[in-house]
Structure 1
Amino acid sequence: MALEKLGENLYLYPGSPSTMIKVEENVVIIDPGNGSKRHKELRRELRKINLEIDYMLSTHGHADHIAIAPKLGKPLFIHRYEFSIAESPLNRELLTFGSKAPKGFLVYQFPQEVRVHGVFDWNDVLFGLKTVELSGHSPGMTGFLDEENGVLYAGDSFFGERVIQSVGLPYLVEPELFKESIRKLMGYAEEGILLIPSHGRAVKGEEALKLLELNLQRVEEGEKKILELLREPKSVSELSYALAKDFGAKITPQILALNQVPIRAIIADLYNRDLIEAVIENDLKWKAKE
Structure 2
Amino acid sequence: MSQERYSILLAPNPSMMTGPGTNTLLLSGSEGAIVIDPGDPDQKHLERIVREGQVRGGIRHILITHGHPDHVGGAAELRERIGVPISAFSRAGVPLADHEIPDGATFDLGDTTLRAIHTPGHRFDHLCFWLEREGVLFAGDVVAGTGTVVIIPPEGHMGVYLQTLKRLQQLPIARIVPAHGPVIEDPQAKLSDYIAHRLERERQIIDALNQFGHPATLIGLVRLVYTDTDPKLYAMAARSLEAHLIKLQEEGRAQVDAQQHWSLLPSR
Structure 1 match to 2:139: 154
Give, in whole Å, the separation in 1 of the partners of 2:76 and 2:246.
36
- Residues 64-83 of structure 1: matches in 2 within 5 Å? 64-73=70-79, 74-80=84-90, 83=91
Structure 1 residue aligned with 2:205, among 226, 230, 253?
Answer: 226
Structure 2 match to 1:53: 59
Greater helix content: 1
CA RMSD of aligned residues (A): 2.6
Q: SS of the counterpart of 1:145?
A: strand
TM-score (normalised: structure 2): 0.78
Q: CA deviation at 1:242?
A: 4.1
Q: CA deviation at 1:55?
A: 1.7
Structure 2 match to 1:110: none
Q: Note if contact 1:10-1:22 (Cα within 8 Å) is conserved in structure 2.
A: yes
Q: Does residue 1:276 correspond to 2:261, yes or no?
A: no
Q: SS of the counterpart of 1:264?
A: helix
Structure 2 match to 1:285: 261
Structure 2 match to 1:23: 28
Q: CA deviation at 1:125?
A: 0.8
Structure 2 residue aligned with 1:183, among 156, 166, 169?
Answer: 166
Give, in whole Å, the separation in 2 of the partners of 1:127 and 1:258.
40
Give, in whole Å, the separation in 1 of the partners of 2:137 and 2:7.
12
Q: SS of the counterpart of 2:133?
A: coil
| Counterpart code for 1:203 | I
| Counterpart code for 1:223 | E
Structure 2 match to 1:119: 100
Distance 1:27 1:50, change over 3 A: closer
| Counterpart code for 1:238 | G
Post-superposition CA distance 1:213-259 (Å, at most 9, x none): 221122112211222222223222333454433xx34443xx44444
Q: CA deviation at 1:12?
A: 2.5
Aligned residues: 241
| Counterpart code for 2:122 | H
Post-superposition CA distance 1:133-190 (Å, at most 9, x none): 22211112111111233211111112223x33xxxx64252222212222232233xx
Q: Note if contact 2:46-2:74 (Cα within 8 Å) is conserved in structure 1.
A: yes
Distance 1:210 1:122, change over 3 A: same
Give, in whole Å, the separation in 2 of the partners of 1:192 and 1:65.
23
Q: Note if contact 2:22-2:71 (Cα within 8 Å) is conserved in structure 1.
A: yes
Structure 1 match to 2:178: 197
| Counterpart code for 1:179 | L
Give, in whole Å, the separation in 2 of the partners of 1:154 and 1:213.
15
Give, in whole Å, the separation in 1 of the partners of 2:223 and 2:145.
22
Q: SS of the counterpart of 2:59?
A: coil
Structure 1 match to 2:16: none
Q: SS of the counterpart of 1:180?
A: helix
Q: SS of the counterpart of 2:138?
A: strand
Q: SS of the counterpart of 1:29?
A: strand
Give, in whole Å, the separation in 1 of the partners of 2:7 and 2:189.
24
Structure 2 residue ranges without an equivalent (≥5): 12-20
- Residues 27-46 of structure 1: matches in 2 within 5 Å? 27-34=33-40, 36=42, 37-46=44-53
Q: SS of the counterpart of 1:54?
A: strand
Post-superposition CA distance 1:13-32 (Å, at most 9, x none): 24532122122213210111
Q: Note if contact 2:33-2:53 (Cα within 8 Å) is conserved in structure 1.
A: no
| Counterpart code for 2:165 | I
Structure 1 residue ranges without an equivalent (≥5): 88-114
Q: Note if contact 1:6-1:12 (Cα within 8 Å) is conserved in structure 2.
A: no
| Counterpart code for 2:265 | K
Q: Note if contact 1:11-1:21 (Cα within 8 Å) is conserved in structure 2.
A: yes
Distance 1:40 1:256, change over 3 A: farther
Structure 2 match to 1:100: none
Q: CA deviation at 1:84?
A: 1.8
Give, in whole Å, the separation in 2 of the partners of 1:264 and 1:6.
42
Give, in whole Å, the separation in 2 of the partners of 1:151 and 1:50.
19
